[in-house]
Structure 1
Amino acid sequence: KENVTFGQLKCTGAIAALLKDVLKPNLVQTLEKTPAFVHGGPFANIAHGCNSVNATLCALATGDYVVTEAGFAADLGAEKFFDIKCRKNGLAPDAAVIVATIRALKMHGGVAKKDLGEENLEALEKGFANLKAHIQNVKKFGVGVVVAINKFISDTDAEIELVKKLCAAEKTDAILCEGWAKGGEGATELAEKIVGITEKKNEFKLLYSDNLPLIEKVQVLAKEIYHASSVEFDDKAKKKLTRFQAEGYGNLPICMAKTQNSISHDKALTGAPEGYAFPVRDAQLYSGAGFVVVFAGDIVDMPGLPKLPAALNIDVDDEGTISGLF
């Protein structure tokens, strides 16, 4: 098989015309009048999960501190932010915030969804293994880490203190964040902690080098981030990765497509699974984007909407007031 380019299809000009304005970030403001750049929203389970480089560079040029989101958990969004976005553009973050909820940790500890509102310290401690794995993963990149406990009304004082204690055992601070309920006021302590981390010396580093062969990059990801003991490549995936390597794309980073519900490839494996075989079934080259997508487990790479999309609740009245956004 040979790669097909836009030039061969004689549509380079048309594509350029479409992209001319699309490449410009959108400047908006938050509810508290803070400027924000919104540009791109790729899913971190099937794509790189970060906003555009242009948006980040614009923010860095205009603000003293820039906060950017990487989607889903740290095994997806954070790893891809570091290994794809930062790698490509020489960005070196000063701090990383891991957002955690007590509800999610109890779920990883085996609690059913209907019971997540009830205090359960035993399940919380068991489920902390998941957060611990994410903390350890992010620290492999050499950045300062803080955990933001995204508070729910059902969280008890005992549960909050337990998470702080368990994080302290990992030499990591955990700060209660009430931004959803109180806005900026509810996130002040977290912001102050982040500023303190940025003032310390960090040794940001990537997980693997550009020169490492594609197959070996996948193996590094599977073992270091997903905590697998081995990687099982389907013949199709191995042949494609070998071909991409031979065609001169071996220097590209890996963008893993896998479930967001587990550190592993299997959404049923909650907590912090380890010592398993990580299955790679396919690979796809995205030379324009500058990465190779590798498919692991049962994952569909076409994003879909929920059964009731938010758009169904959005409306504008006769006076131009928009409703249904929140």
Structure 2
Amino acid sequence: MVFSTPRVSTLRHALVASLFLAAASLSGIAQAQGTPIKLLVGFPAGAGTDAIARTLGEKLKDELGVPVVVENRAGAGGQIAAQALKAAPADGHTLFLSHDHSISILPQVVKSAGFNPASDFVPVAGFATFANVLAVSGGTPAKTIDEYVKWVRTQRGGKDTIGVPAPASIPEFLVKMIGDKYKIDVQSAPYRGSAPMTADMLGNQISAGIASVPDFIENHKAGKVRIVAVIGAKRQPLLPNVPTFSELGFPNLDDYPYYGVFAPVGTPQPVIDRFGAALQKVLAMPDVKQKLTTLGLNVAYEPQGQFAGRVRTYTQAWERIIQASGFKPL
């Protein structure tokens, strides 16, 4: 008869635990390989974020060997999609492709977002930065922000409405900053995403809107809207003649918004690493990079740790701006 000493018993338990964890990780990878991946998007089909997700999803399915299905959970500035991610199993089958609003801004501006990015989500990887811009519709004669302000003063009695893709978003804070700087009465008109807002701009229902470069760039190129100011420390390569808000005298608008992918907390690290590696390969494809650049993105892969740092820094920067504005959560 063989008796186990306490030390042998302890080692045996540790070995069994290690094998169990390894099996769980391998099981998660196998599931990710054999089951379609659902890529949540918090905005409607046809919007800039949707186009980005579909561009990446088409290539990711080849790298991962499974279908990557874009699922639009539009509404509330991405809040519905974020809540869906929180409720999803942490098995790598459900991910969230999002820009900064849903992750960094929304939890600060609503009383009950229904999720906490810091405790409910884990960053997977970042893949781009972009810029929010002010654009005027074709129904206005303005070609610069100064001409727009002059038009508001002379033709609108100093009052106007500027569309924004979601309430209590960075575009809405920019509307307030524009009004304060130029001493005009401009109010924000929140929409359920940039697509319906842009449609109203094209129909001259509203004279101006603030959204991302991807939301406006094609209509800007076609001359249907005119981008007159852009956020960030530097001018955008696609918009070399458009000044930054910083150039125009607006403070604290140098940080670029981001795009990235998030998973439910508890998702196995091997699954996250595998998706991140696939995303990095896809972003290196010339046709993908060209497509995303054409949409107005500054494409650059950021691994999990680096991307998590960007999200944290950006969130803290806008926390200071939001608090200084006196905004009260809705």
> Fold conserved (TM > 0.5)?
no
Going by fraction, where is helix more abundant, 1 or 2? 2
Taking structure 1 as the reference length, the TM-score comes to: 0.32
Larger Rg: 2
Taking structure 2 as the reference length, the TM-score comes to: 0.31
Using CA pairs under 8 Å that are at least 6 residues apart, name the structure with larger relative contact order, 1 or 2. Answer: 2
